[in-house]
């Protein structure tokens, strides 16, 4: 019964962060309505229909949606950051020498293009089976301002704010809660599925779930949420900025080459990360043993 309660409670963080999203939307819409009403009452026009048209245009704009994302992400970082720190022992100021290792960081860098290309191929395969899912995904990106005219504010939100927020929610709080009642492999799988569902779009949900498994692994095995945050930041930066300047090609050779490249970089990145964490743990154990010997 206790394990069941722990399991069910793991659904609270994703539901709460969705609620925060809606509250941020209502807050932004309420503020905009208040400003528009004041403008109608004291400004140059008293035409209610003109005001409603202006509000509709504002609410449909990418700038307005980006503002909502920034409000929601900032508030969620505070809420879940405190939750992670107070409930699950989150360490926001780890000792760099005991928490990180150059090889582990190199593994994260290698995982960035590897996971990017593999998720791209997964999306391409799924899109060939369900083209409507891809159309809905592209419409979602355009509405959110994630197109060729993407703003610097949206890049900041996608590359920095969103990774911090989502890592605290899913790898920080949700996965830690699941680990109270499930082995790591199961907890990692469940949080990844919840991470995919959270995106509320079939195409985005599938690749987010696949990425979530890797993020959960590097977070748990690395012993620090900063590993998954770093990978998430680099992944989003690659997809948002770098990918625009990389030509892949559509020949059979290019398709096969980049697919194999994605597999090699992902497998190699995980391997390098694993050895980096082993070396870090060995170094930490040796330092601890030396301190104990000196005290004795």
Three-class HEC string of 184-217 = HHHHHHHHHHHHHHHCCCHHHHHHHHHHHHHHHH
Residues 6 or more apart whose Cβ sits within 8 Å of residue 263: 114, 118
**Distance of alpha carbon 115 from the chain centroid:** 13
Mean pLDDT over each residue of the chain, to the nearest integer:
89
Half-sphere exposure of residue 272: CA atoms within 13 angstroms, side-chain side: 17
State pLDDT tens for residues 226-237: 999 999 999 999
Residues 6 or more apart whose Cβ sits within 8 Å of residue 14: 169, 170, 174, 194, 197, 198
**Token pair in block for residue 58:** 């504002």
Share of the chain above pLDDT 90, in %: 60
Question: Which whole number is the average pLDDT over 59-70?
Answer: 85
Residue 164's Cβ-count burial label (10 Å; 0-12, 13-18, 19+) is buried
Quick one: CA torsion of 237, 241, 243, 246, rounded to 10 degrees? -130
Residue 214's Cβ-count burial label (10 Å; 0-12, 13-18, 19+) is buried
Residue 26's Cβ-count burial label (10 Å; 0-12, 13-18, 19+) is exposed
**Token pair in block for residue 65:** 């949606």
State pLDDT tens for residues 139-192: 877 776 666 677 888 889 999 999 999 999 999 999 999 999 999 999 999 999
At 148 the three-state DSSP class reads coil
Residue 45 has pLDDT above 60, yes or no: no
Residues 6 or more apart whose Cβ sits within 8 Å of residue 240: 146, 150, 155, 158, 159
Contact 62, 151 (CB under 8 A): yes
Residue 254 has pLDDT above 80, yes or no: yes
Please say whether the dihedral angle defined by the alpha carbons of residues 276, 277, 283 and 287, taken in this order, is positive or negative: positive
Contact 69, 161 (CB under 8 A): yes
pTM, two decimal places: 0.93
Query: Please, which pLDDT band fits residue 62 given cuts at 50, 70 and 90?
Result: confident
Question: Which whole number is the average pLDDT over 11-38?
Answer: 89
DSSP string covering 255-267 = HHHHHHHHHHHHH
- Greatest pairwise CA separation for the chain in angstroms: 83
Contact 169, 17 (CB under 8 A): yes
């Amino acid at each position: 019964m206790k394990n069941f309660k722990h399991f069910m409670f793991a659904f609270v963080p994703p539901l709460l962060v969705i609620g925060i999203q809606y509250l941020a939307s209502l807050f932004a819409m309420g503020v905009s309505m208040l400003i528009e009403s004041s403008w109608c009452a004291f400004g140059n026009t008293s035409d209610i229909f003109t005001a409603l048209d202006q509000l509709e245009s504002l609410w449909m704009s990418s700038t307005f949606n980006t503002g909502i994302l920034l409000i929601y992400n900032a508030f969620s970082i505070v809420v879940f950051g405190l939750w992670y720190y107070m409930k699950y022992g989150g360490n926001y100021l780890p000792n760099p020498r005991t928490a990180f290792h150059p090889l582990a960081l190199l593994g994260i860098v290698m995982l960035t293009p590897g996971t990017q290309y593999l998720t791209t191929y997964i999306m391409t395969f799924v899109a060939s089976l369900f083209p409507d899912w891809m159309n809905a995904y592209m419409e979602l990106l355009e509405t959110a301002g994630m197109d060729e005219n993407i703003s610097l504010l949206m890049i900041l939100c996608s590359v920095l704010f969103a990774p911090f927020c989502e890592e605290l929610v899913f790898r920080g709080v949700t996965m830690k809660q699941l680990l109270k009642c499930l082995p790591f492999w199961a907890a990692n799988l469940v949080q990844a599925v919840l991470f995919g569902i959270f995106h509320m779009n079939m195409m985005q949900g599938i690749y987010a779930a696949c990425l979530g498994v890797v993020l959960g692994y590097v977070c748990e095995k690395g012993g620090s949420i900063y590993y998954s945050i770093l990978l998430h930041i680099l992944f989003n930066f690659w997809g948002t900025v770098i990918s625009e300047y990389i030509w892949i090609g559509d020949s059979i050779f290019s398709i096969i080459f980049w697919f194999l490249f994605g597999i090699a970089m992902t497998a190699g990145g995980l391997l390098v990360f694993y050895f980096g964490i082993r070396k870090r743990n060995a170094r930490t154990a040796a330092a601890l043993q030396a301190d104990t010997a000196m005290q004795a």
